[in-house]
Structure 1
Amino acid sequence: MTGPLADFPDAAGLSGLDVYPWPTEDGKHGGSPHMHLTCAECYVVVSGRGRLETLGGQGHQTLPLHPEAVSLLDASGAPSDERARARRDLAMEGFNTLKQQWYDGDRAALADFYRAATELVGPRLEQWRKTVTEGPLAAAEASLCQIGALETGDFGHLGTSGVRRIEKPRMQSLGMCGLLHAYYPIRRAVAREELHTGSPAGEPW
């Protein structure tokens, strides 16, 4: 059945992604280098081929992307094409600089970048905590309650079970890596805010 957009299991999110076609300074094309401070992200490739470049504690890595590949990133929108492309190009410049500093043996540069990013997101941390508490943590606690109920022979929660189909969102937004069709409530709300205000609302993480 269809209806109001439902939360995904364990408060996960899902977006369809078409990588930006705009060329980059290295002669390739793709999205904006960006940083994950608290969350994990998984790419499941359904068509096309490319590569994913990362720079972290293990150094610079390049992972191939193709329809048989699943890539997991772990952390242990712009309002117009023009601004999204400018953001991507500036991020590419910074990423390539950090990458070259790493190969030159300058490990402090990446640590300085981490420090600056941590300071930058400081005002958002309370909202992030709220998002985790009301999302993934609440989903995990609900599952534990259901396990506890089953241990006592109580299966009442099964009476509220059901199946929902979520149609592909018609609204498209400009994300960090490309054009997004976001299926989950947080990103859809961000896309609506961008549409109505004409200014980037930023990524939820």
Structure 2
Amino acid sequence: MVSGAPKPPPAAPLPGAVGLSHIGAYDWEAADGACGGSPHVHLACTEAYVVTAGRGAVQTLTPEGYRETDLAPGSLVWFTPGTVHRMVQRDGLRVTVLMENGGLPEAGDAVLTFPPSVLADPGKYAAAAALPAGEGPEAEEAARRRRDLAVEGYLELRAALLEGDARPLLEFHRAAARLVAPRVSGWERLWRTGALAAAERTGARLAALAAGDAAHLAGARVEAAVPARRGGYGMCGRREEYELPGAAPPHREG
């Protein structure tokens, strides 16, 4: 430590308390012939894809209809809560994912598009979404089964939208909201200590600067991290995850 410098503050979170991971999209073929991940939705968080390699697409369902957005190196696409999304692999697709409210998806803000009979039963949903520990053949087979069940429900939602009927998607939204309702109080605590706290820190800095107070700048520091877990089976593909200051432990369904 430099002589006369103050004691370093606690480790700083990523800017804005966002979540960060890297994904190599699955190349497993699904029932409709497309290769890729498990369609799902976030209920509280906006998500962004920054494409770093390869080619593919993201298929999305909203009340406005079905859309497929091509992905290539340099592409940036983001989607708001309620957007059902499915990452499609075409040729070595690699994506860096930025997630609003880092910690919330890891705490369960991600609902797979399982058929209605599964979504209606929290026990059935939990069993269908769970993966065994480890990364061996058993885990891969479970991830494939989970993906295929999500695609089954997704294709029904997509078919209805293509016929101009948004009602099944809106009912899926309602079922997803009922499913996660017991978790929301925990999400609020994560938001208050994460994204909200980050915004409040900025407000305090602006107030200090307006008063000519530069004391907080003496706490300047540099942080660095490397992926703490590589190759886990996520919803969209194989994941590289970070353990970041202030973030919740990675949720293995992501």
TM-score, normalised to structure 1's length?
0.86
For CA contacts below 8 A with separation 6 or more, give which structure has more relative contact order: 1
- Equivalent-residue separation in structure 1 for 2:63 and 2:148 (angstroms): 24
C-alpha deviation, 1:111, in angstroms: 1.3
Query: Do the aligned residues in 2 keep the contact of 1:52 with 1:63 (CA within 8 Å)?
Result: yes
**Identical columns (%):** 39
C-alpha deviation, 1:171, in angstroms: 4.0
Name the structure with the higher strand share: 2
3-state secondary structure, aligned to 1:45: strand
Query: Do the aligned residues in 2 keep the contact of 1:13 with 1:184 (CA within 8 Å)?
Result: no
2:47 to 41, 58, 65: 41
C-alpha deviation, 1:72, in angstroms: 0.6
Superposed, 1:192-203 pairs within 5 Å as 202-203=253-254
Name the structure with the higher helix share: 1
User: Could you tell me which residue of structure 2 aligns to residue 157 of structure 1?
Assistant: 216
C-alpha deviation, 1:170, in angstroms: 4.1
- Equivalent-residue separation in structure 2 for 1:14 and 1:5 (angstroms): 17
Query: Do the aligned residues in 2 keep the contact of 1:60 with 1:99 (CA within 8 Å)?
Result: yes
3-state secondary structure, aligned to 1:14: strand
Q: Does 1:108 align with 2:167?
A: yes
- Equivalent-residue separation in structure 1 for 2:249 and 2:242 (angstroms): 10
- Equivalent-residue separation in structure 2 for 1:125 and 1:170 (angstroms): 27
User: Could you tell me which residue of structure 1 aligns to residue 72 of structure 2?
Assistant: 66
CA 1:6–1:85 in 2, change beyond 3 Å: closer, same or farther? farther
TM-score, normalised to structure 2's length?
0.70
- Residue segments in structure 1 that go unaligned for 5+ positions in a row: 192-200
User: Could you tell me which residue of structure 2 aligns to residue 93 of structure 1?
Assistant: 152
- Residue segments in structure 2 that go unaligned for 5+ positions in a row: 1-9, 83-129, 133-138
User: Could you tell me which residue of structure 2 aligns to residue 78 of structure 1?
Assistant: 131
User: Could you tell me which residue of structure 2 aligns to residue 190 of structure 1?
Assistant: 250
**What one-letter code is carried by the residue in structure 2 that aligns with 1:63?**
T
State the Cα deviation string for residues 117-154 of structure 1 (Å, max 9, x = none).
11001001111111111100000000000100111111
Count of matched residue pairs? 191
Query: Do the aligned residues in 2 keep the contact of 1:5 with 1:184 (CA within 8 Å)?
Result: no
**What one-letter code is carried by the residue in structure 1 that aligns with 2:237?**
G
User: Could you tell me which residue of structure 1 aligns to residue 23 of structure 2?
Assistant: 17
